[in-house]
Amino acid sequence: MNRMTVIVIGAFLTFLTSWVGLVAYPYLQLGRFMPATDEASGDVNPPPLSGLAVMGQHVYAASGCVYCHSQQVRQIGIGSDLARGWGARPTVARDYMRERPAFLGTMRTGPDLANIGARQSSAKWHHQHLYQPAVVTPGSIMPSYRYLYRMQKIQGQRSERALDLLPPNVPPPGYEVVPTYEAEALVAYLISLNRNYPLPEAPEPTE
C-alpha cells in the first residue's frame, strides 16, 4: 500500500467513525420516539402545541431568550433544579420530540423555563413582565421586550386586548397598549411550557 492510499483510507475511517458516533447512533437511540398514551387519563404526551404556540416558538428563537434561559430540568444529584421548583420531574429526551429545534440552552442568567407554564399560567403577568420585567420582578435585569407591543389611540371603545399596565408604564389618557401578534404567540408558547405530564421513562422522584 502506498502512502496516498493509507491517507485516504485513514481520512475515510475518521469521518466514518464520527458519522456513526454523531449521526447514526443518536438517530437509532433518539430518532424514533413516539408520543406515549397515559393509561389513566388517555392523554397523549408530550401534547401537541397549538398553532399560535408554534409561532411563539419562532418568536422565542428570534428574541434570543435562549441566551439567558435553559429548558431542561436536571436529575437529582446533578443540580438542585427540582428543589428550586423548576419541575416535578427531570426532563427526558422524549419531552423534546415535537421541538425543532429544542431550546435546551446553556446559560441560566434567568430561571429555567421548561415548566414556566405550570408556574405562571397568567397571560396578563407574562405581558406585564415582557413589557418591562423590573416592574413585576423588582431588580430584574431581564431586557424589556416593549417592541413586541404597540401604543395606539383608543378608537371609540378600549380594545379587549389592551394591557392593564402597572405604573410607570400606564399609557397617557386616550391611549392604550396592545400586544402585537408576535407577543400573543410568545405568551401562548410560554404558557404551553409544562412538562409535568407522566412518561413511562420519567417517573416523579420519590425522595
Work out whether 119 is an interface residue with ligand HEC (CB under 6 A): yes
Report how many residues bind ligand HEC under the rule CB under 6 A: 23
| Closer Cβ to ligand HEC, 135 or 178, answer by number | 135
| Closer Cβ to ligand HEC, 145 or 149, answer by number | 145
Q: Which of 120, 112, 128, 138 is nearest to 177 (CA)?
A: 128
Cβ(133)–Cβ(109) under 8 Å? no
Q: Using alpha carbons only, what angle is made at residue 56 by residues 154 and 143, rounded to the nearest 5 degrees? A: 75
Contacts of 170 (CB under 8 A, 6+ apart): none
d(CA 62, CA 83): 31
State which of positions 123-182 bind ligand HEC (CB under 6 A): 133, 137, 140-143, 145
Work out whether 35 is an interface residue with ligand HEC (CB under 6 A): no
| CB neighbour class for 183 (10 Å; exposed up to 12, middle 13-18, buried from 19) | buried
| Closer Cβ to ligand HEC, 29 or 196, answer by number | 196
- Nearest approach in angstroms of CB 28 to ligand HEC is 34
> Which residues are at the interface with ligand HEC (CB under 6 A)?
60, 63-65, 67-69, 109-111, 113, 116, 119-120, 133, 137, 140-143, 145, 186, 190
